[in-house]
Amino acid sequence: MKTNIRIVPGPMALAHAAAAEVQRIARHSIDQRGAFRIALAGGSTPRALYGWLANTDVESKLDFARWHVFFGDERCVPKDHADSNYRMANEALLSKVPIPSAQVHRVRTEDGDPVAVAAAYESEIRRSFALVKGDLPRFDLVLLGMGSDGHTASLFPGTRALAEVEKLAVANHVEKLGAFRITLTIPVINAAGQVMFLVAGADKADVLARVIEGDHPIARYPARAVRPVDGELTWMIDDAAAAALSTRRRAGFGLPRA
Ligand code: 6PG
């Protein structure tokens, strides 16, 4: 696994740098395979990135007609709910670019209980990637955020989904939220060609240092489980979130001592 760390000055610079990376990966995937399969992150950090992508000028040659969009996780709410990851992505990006609707694979949270919704999402992934039993989908890019508790996607500390190695997507009950979340599983994330974390803000700094530089258990810091088996991991971090990283690592980006 190749790991890249990029530290940029602030959340807007993070969105801009991440957009350039997504564009590069998308063009490469389309050149090589005629399609770009991406799993979008939820939460708030990616919104600015999606906005940059939506405002992509023609010169960037982003062939959105070749994009296939999935979601790394989803809350169990209607697609127009304020908490919906689909709604955020649709407002910021999907409603503004010409991705064929059949190529937007949202988690259909309206279609039953969380377990049934997760099973249907898994079937959609298997169908779209034309997987045979036992195969894992190889996303060209999985975008992830990281919570201040070290969770990623909807893989929260101490939850059952962390142990899932057979299913592609599961309904994960998160006690501290008092709710189920639908999430891709660790094997699926780690089967991707590229995984990119977007982490911004001082409230993430201490946990980020433990995730990147510590040797803590995955059960406590699930983001540490993200280790692409045959792919690249990139941490796109703003300077506030990087504040607790080692001096050596920060020095590499010309940042002052922590
Ligand atoms: C979600 C996300 C989740 C998110 C982190 C960070 O559905 O909430 O998938 O994993 O990426 O909680 O969220 P922020 O970007 O809002 O800090």
Question: If you measure from the C-alpha of residue 237 to the centroid of ligand 1, how many angstroms do you get, rounded to a whole number?
Answer: 14
Phi-psi category of 45—alpha, beta or left, where left has phi over 0 and alpha has psi -120 to 50? Answer: alpha
- CA–CA distance from 247 to each of 32, 198, 209, 210, 214 (Å)? 39, 21, 11, 14, 14
H or E, element range at 67: strand 67-71
Ligand 1 atom closest to Cα of residue 151? 10
**pLDDT for 254:** 64
H or E, element range at 144: strand 141-144
- Token couple for 123: 């079937």
Question: If you measure from the C-alpha of residue 144 to the centroid of ligand 1, how many angstroms do you get, rounded to a whole number?
Answer: 8
**pLDDT for 58:** 57
Beta bridge partners of 3: 233
Calculate the average pLDDT of the chain.
95
Q: What is the mean pLDDT of residues 118-125?
A: 98
> If we measure between CA atoms, which residue out of 195, 224, 182 comes closest to residue 73?
182
Percent of the chain scoring above 70 in pLDDT: 95
Residue 256 banded pLDDT, cuts 50, 70, 90: low
Rounded to whole angstroms, the Cα distance separating 26 from 184 reads 21
Give the helix, strand, coil percentages of the chain, each rounded to 5.
40, 20, 40
Pick the residue whose CA is nearest to atom 11 on ligand 1. 145
Which pLDDT tens digit goes with each residue over 160-190? Answer: 999 999 999 999 999 999 999 999 999 999 9
How many Å from the N-terminal Cα to the C-terminal Cα in the chain? Answer: 28
**pLDDT for 56:** 77
Q: Which of 14, 40, 45, 76 for a ligand 1 pocket mutation test, highest count of atoms within 8 Å of Cβ?
A: 45
Q: CB within 6 Å of ligand 1 — which residues?
A: 41-45, 72-73, 85, 145-147, 151-154
Q: Which of 79, 151, 176 for a ligand 1 pocket mutation test, highest count of atoms within 8 Å of Cβ?
A: 151
User: In three state form, how does the secondary structure of 72-93 look?
Assistant: CEEECCCCCCCCCHHHHHHHHC
Is pLDDT at 257 greater than 70 in this prediction? no
Rounded to whole angstroms, the Cα distance separating 200 from 12 reads 10
Rounded to whole angstroms, the Cα distance separating 131 from 208 reads 34
Pick the residue whose CA is nearest to atom 8 on ligand 1. 43
**pLDDT for 247:** 73
Which pLDDT tens digit goes with each residue over 12-31? Answer: 999 999 999 999 999 999 99
DSSP track, 172-228: EEETTTTEEEEEE-HHHHHTSSEEEEEE-SGGGHHHHHHHHH----TTT-GGGG---
Chain-centroid distance of CA 12 in Å reads 18
Ligand 1 atom closest to Cα of residue 154? 10
